[in-house]
Structures are given as C-alpha cells and as structure tokens.
Amino acid sequence: MKKACKSCKALVIKGSVCPICKGTDLTSSFQGIVYIFDVESEIAKKLGITASGKYAIKV
Ligand SMILES: [Zn+2]
C-alpha cells in the first residue's frame, strides 16, 4: 500500500522514508493522488509543493 508523508504530502511508493523531505511520519489515509509537473502551477502553490512528483491530497 502506498503511503504519504504527513509533513510535505509527497507520495512514498516504497520504503518508509519520504523521498522529498526524508521524513518518516507517514500515513496511508489519504483520498487522492496528484502528479505535479510544474511547481509554478496553481495546484502546486495551493498545496505548498516545491518539487515535482507525486503527492497525496487530503492527508
Ligand atoms: Zn515529506
């Protein structure tokens, strides 16, 4: 099961460490996944995302 980082919302595909912030506080209770290509986009700004990648929403 995929998990998401609680601090930066990045999706953690495998392992138990966030690939973006190296955090280990993960959750499996999220409602959806967004793929951010452009960190300047509205959705990225709204979510506070600063690196492209897969992110969970409603963590
Ligand atoms: Zn993180």
Q: Where are the domains of the chain?
A: 3-57
State in Å: Cα 24 to ligand 1 middle.
8
Helix extents (H) in 1-59 = 42-47
pLDDT (0 to 100) of residue 58: 78
pLDDT (0 to 100) of residue 33: 93
pLDDT (0 to 100) of residue 59: 55
- 16 in Cβ contact with 4 (< 8 Å): no
pLDDT (0 to 100) of residue 47: 87
pLDDT (0 to 100) of residue 1: 75
State in Å: Cα 43 to ligand 1 middle.
17
Parts of the chain with a pLDDT under 70 = 59
pLDDT (0 to 100) of residue 41: 95
pLDDT (0 to 100) of residue 10: 95
Q: How many CA atoms lie within 13 A of 55 on its CB side?
A: 26
State in Å: Cα 6 to ligand 1 middle.
7
Q: Which CATH number fits domain 3-57: 3.20.20.70, 1.10.10.10, 2.20.28.90, 3.90.550.10?
A: 2.20.28.90
